[in-house]
Amino acid sequence: MNTISLIDSFADFKEQKNIDRVTMMHILEDVIRGMIVRKYGEVDNFDLIVNVDKGDLEIFQNLTIVEDGEVEDPVTEIALSEALKIEPDFEVGEEVSVAVPFSNFGRRAITSMRQNLHARIQDLEKDAVYKKYKDRVGEILAGEVYQVWRKELLVLDDEGNELILPKAEMIPSDFFKKGETIRAVVLKVDLKNNSPLIILSRTAPEFLEKLFEQEVPEVFDGLITIKKIVRIPGERAKVAVESFDDRIDPVGACVGMKGSRIHGIVRELRNENIDVINYTNNTSLYIQRALSPAKVVTMELNDVDRRARVFLKPDQVSLAIGKGGMNIKLASRLTGYEIDVYRDDEPDMEDVALDDFRDEIEDWVIDTLKSVGCDTAKSVLELTKEDLLNRTDLEEETIDEVLQILKSEFEK
């Protein structure tokens, strides 16, 4: 194999793998120096001239001129008579550079060098892919289904890198054909036999989170934070959201006008039912919201065992439990409390303590209402706005805001 074919071969690697010029030069020099070591035992007195762009690749051997008959090491020394053939005014003790043709190494060595070069490029490519996707864990991407197997799908990204979507990471109703575009999140990146193994997922909570980022600008901009997501893929999900801007309703922003924003997410997740709820630090209120659409009457919390005894009207029990127990299971996972549901046949017990609204109503306002005998939401709502104005020193605007918050808790 001659110099031109070597350069052409390496140029092919560069074009296919998109390797930068400096890295390419270093790899080629390392491979050639390895070939020189195998042939001559050392490389200290050899110079390489590599110009991949022009196709130049030359090897020069630097030899010290000695008297005829005194050559002890032909790798580092040359007889004066041989040097004079190159340049007639050379003298003993001077150094001469001799071009080393590739034919000196033999076809087997050249072939071995090219294979080594190919292996080095592949290793570099694998390392680049590993680093690229290691930094993209948790990101959503789109790829093309290239092969459909019984236990997994082979997906290609826009650069032709191979990604794996296992059956276990697919929504149960997912069905894809070869050539279809698929969206998934990068779940993890491992090394298997020194090759990157990139695993995708459509069932991970991160997938749903990234879909919200794509569909809801406020989530993408950080104005709304997704506190936690729990899913039963393809069936139901609960998403707790919080807004750092009082002017933004996090639930309304995520759902969109007439559900416009969340519909796209639901379609992507094969009609998965998504409940979006307001996050709160108030545990009992958080559990009540997590059990939506069921309405809770009363609740007993055990913070030590992290258990909640929830009492509901008989017609609300099935709503709280949900189909196949999915609603209560997701509510437990969302809140971190084991929830036990009980029927409550007592009339008129569907009320909420005012203290449960301290994350939405300022403390001094609640304390003012309690000072006039209003300890629960219903005890406040039973009074007219005029009564509240007369009994308290609260502003009309404050009372309107309080009434709106309390009424929304009892709306169906």
Tell me the per-residue pLDDT of 357-406, one tens digit each, with 9 for 90 and over: 888 899 998 888 887 778 888 888 888 888 788 778 888 899 999 998 88
Tell me the per-residue pLDDT of 127-172, one tens digit each, with 9 for 90 and over: 888 988 999 999 999 999 999 999 999 999 988 899 999 999 999 9
122, 148, 172 - which closes a domain: 122
User: Do 56 and 50 touch, CB atoms closer than 8 A?
Assistant: yes
Q: What is the DSSP letter of 270?
A: T
Q: Are residues 7 and 77 in the same domain?
A: yes
User: Do 234 and 269 touch, CB atoms closer than 8 A?
Assistant: yes
190: containing domain: 136-201
User: Do 145 and 179 touch, CB atoms closer than 8 A?
Assistant: yes
Q: At what angle do helices 363-371 and 396-410 cross, to 10 degrees?
A: 90
Write down the H helix ranges in 166-306. 205-215, 217-220, 250-255, 260-268, 283-290
* pLDDT < 70 positions in the chain: 1-21, 51-56, 345-350, 412
70, 96, 122 - which closes a domain: 122
Rounded Cα gap, residues 192 and 118, in angstroms? 20
Residue 111 placed within a domain: yes
Rounded Cα gap, residues 402 and 381, in angstroms? 10
Residue 215 placed within a domain: no
- Amino acid making up residue 273: N
User: Do 380 and 402 touch, CB atoms closer than 8 A?
Assistant: yes
Q: Are residues 287 and 337 in the same domain?
A: yes
Domain CATH code at residue 170: 2.40.50.140
Residue 249 placed within a domain: yes
Domain CATH code at residue 312: 3.30.300.20
Torsion, Cα of 66, 71, 72, 74 (10° steps): 100
Continuous segment of H or E residues that includes residue 339: strand 338-343
| 119 alpha carbon, distance to own chain's centre | 30
Q: What is the pLDDT of residue 56?
A: 66
